[in-house]
Amino acid sequence: MHEMSLAGGILTIVEDAAKREGFARVTLLRLEAGALSGVEVRALRFALEVMANDTCLQNARIEIDTPPAQAWCMQCSTTVDITARGDPCVHCGCYQLQPTSGTELRVVEMMVEDN
């Protein structure tokens, strides 16, 4: 399950920010996992909750948004929302789509408490 390794990377980002910014704990962690990111949201949430014990992330509320991806249609030169690779263009039905967003996994927001 690669979500465990992703959770470890996110935890490193959060702990590095805590050291740099001097906060004690995170009360809210909001992430964005694009529709084409390949991330299983439930598994990522579970991994973060397990790894959060004895860290500044312990007991934080974790929100994970999954925005739709966007792709450029090579046939009709339009940007369209897609939910999965292999979706057709909603305008012309063409399958020649080049994803332009939705592959990202990123930390969007952290609400924190000082020492």
Q: In the chain, where are the structural domains located?
A: 2-69+101-114
Indicate if the pLDDT at residue 100 is higher than 60.
yes
Above 80 in pLDDT, residue 6?
yes
For the stretch 31-50, pLDDT in tens is 999 999 999 999 999 999 99
Record the pTM. Answer: 0.85
Which of the four pLDDT bands, split at 50, 70 and 90, describes residue 28? very high
Residue 83 has pLDDT above 90, yes or no: no
The domain defined by 2-69+101-114 carries CATH number 3.30.465.10: no
Burial class, 82, CB count within 10 angstroms (exposed 0-12 / middle 13-18 / buried 19+)? buried
Q: CA dist 63 to 41, 53, 74, Å?
A: 10, 17, 34
